[in-house]
Amino acid sequence: MQAVLKEFILMGLSENQGVQKVCFVMFLFFYMIIVAGNLLIVITVFSSQRLNSPMYFFLCHLSFLDICYSSITAPRMITDFLVENKTISFAGCMAQLFGVHFFGCTEIFILTVMAYDRYTAICRPLHYTTLMTRHACGRMVIGSWVGGFVHSIVQTFLITRLPFCGPNQIDHYFCDVHPLLQLACTDTDVMGIIVVANSGMITLSCFFILVVSYIVILVSLRSQTSKGRHKALSTCGSHIIVVILFFGPCTFTYIRPSSNLSEDKSVAVFYTVITPMLNPLIYTLRNEEMKSAMRKLWSRRVGSGKGK
């Protein structure tokens, strides 16, 4: 069934003019940090010969995903703080819905793969080089991207089949499944269950795998030396922080049936803006190899600049 509505109106985070101006400055600053910080990680990993382990290969993809994921929602949100007409076309809304779920779901799978990498490195160190080959890592990354694409196609297809003929105001700052289900001119109870089964169960099952893997890692650390425990906890600690910041809000949003909660858009800020902004800080400040590679990259840039 074709949609009757040609466009939607995004209500944004706040309708208060003063709050919108403050939010414009704040989120513009956040978005600049997201792009600059994650781009720096990508450039550093590509430029450094020492950062060639699977962990940094996955981290590079995670940083690229953070840039893409935030760029689907943040620029539009920042622009809407300054304009009165916050309309978005039906096609643009569906494209945003597809992008959010594509990059978001792919990031979930990449974080799960990173946990498997840490489990293999710590719990099965003798088999690490045979299990985590370049070919195997490549297949894991491709599988993550394909899985995110399939998930997003399903979500987008289900929403585009709904009739939209009434209210067109989306109480959110981007097009997402739950706010759109509230506007459909039909009973969406069954569709809400399908959405939970699709988005919610992916999030919950991956989160369960992550929790189990880190429990196994922490238990196995008891038999290692204090130096080994410190190194393992240092690398795993960063990943655990990112997992909590990303999966906590995602689980709250997608594991429950569709409902019109005003808190949804505030919670969404965490996994669309805050976590992508903090990822570069978390992974660099707690990682001596990354900090050393960044210093060398910076010194080479400065040295070449002076040479010119």
Q: What is the pLDDT of residues 200-245, one digit of tens each?
A: 788 888 888 888 888 888 888 777 677 666 766 766 777 788 888 8
pLDDT at 92 over 60: yes
pLDDT of the residue at 3: 43
pLDDT of the residue at 246: 85
Distance, in Å, from the CA atom of 176 to the CA atom of 96, rounded to the nearest integer, reads: 8
Can you give the pTM of this predicted structure? Answer: 0.88
What structural domains does the chain harbor?
Answer: 7-293 (1.20.1070.10)
pLDDT at 68 over 90: yes
Mean pLDDT lowest among 95-109, 232-246, 261-275: 232-246
